[in-house]
Amino acid sequence: MNMAADTPSDQPGLRRIDTGRIVLNVRETGSGPSLLFFHGITSNSAVFTPLMARLSDRFTTMAVDQRGHGLSDKPESGYEANDYADDIASLIRTLDRGPAILVGHSLGARNSVTAAARYPDLVRSVIAIDFTPYIETEALDALEARVNAGNQLFKDVAAVEAYLAGRYPNVPVEAIKIRAKSGYHAVDGGLRPLASPPAMAQTAKGLRADLTPAYREVKKPVLIVRGELSKLVSAAALAKTSRLRPDLPVVVVPGADHYVNEVSPEITLKAITNFIDA
């Protein structure tokens, strides 16, 4: 029975970076300007490995386990947008390679836009995937329920894969396998999520905070990407966001739900490269 989760010793390009504020686990490959990836709630850096592989000929691609997630530090508190954004800023400063392009999905999108608004000197641009202001309370209630339900003990990797396939019905099998392999660790009796349950509960609550000031204030280029079938970001929420910032370009990915970069990696890749090249 394969009980192993990813660890820094068995994964190429995996390392821990002490930013002086927090120790973050990252996956890094490629060379060129910095392109940093930030995952959604309960997830981890591994979900971006397929995209990183396609972009590492042009960029130094680095996917980050955000605080409370994966193999990064899991403090008891500090899970509001500004806490995550300050982590991003401290990482970019520690890397000392100049301003970075940020790609964030969901929680990672919120954190990336917040970082760009707070620290414009450290950010070149942002690709914000399926998280905007004006998300309806019902959608956030459903998200919080899913997050809290994920703290389970699983017998083995196959049980994890079966659970994830039910939770993310549109996510392809290979992407489910990445999540199952990278997001869990062996404990007595089976596997548990690497993401800290108290951290996830605090983070889910923090997602309810008003994001309109960050979107109003951000001066750096931001591409907004929404999955056409997203249950988190409604068409109405996107429309209100576009009224708030009509200057920000929008891509709606046909047939994709909330998990755009895993469900539609080719379109996501094209959206990222077109935006950066423009």
Active site residues: 106, 130, 258
Distance CA 261, CA 264 (A): 5
Helix axes 107-118, 81-95, angle to 10 degrees: 70
- Write down how long the chain is: 278
Q: Which residue has the tokens 């000929």?
A: 57
Residue 41 identity: I
- Do 258 and 230 touch, CB atoms closer than 8 A? yes
Residue 152 has phi, psi (to 5 degrees) of: -130, 160
Written in H, E and C, the secondary structure of 183-205 is CEEEECCEEEECCCHHHHHHHHH
Tokens of 34: 């910095």
- Do 231 and 263 touch, CB atoms closer than 8 A? no
- Do 115 and 102 touch, CB atoms closer than 8 A? yes
How many CB atoms are closer than 10 A to CB 274? 12
Tokens of 199: 């951290």
Instruction: Please write down the long-range contacts of 10-15, taking CB distance under 8 Å and 24 or more positions apart.
Output: 14/71
DSSP H helices in 119-259:
137-149, 157-167, 173-182, 197-206, 212-217, 235-244
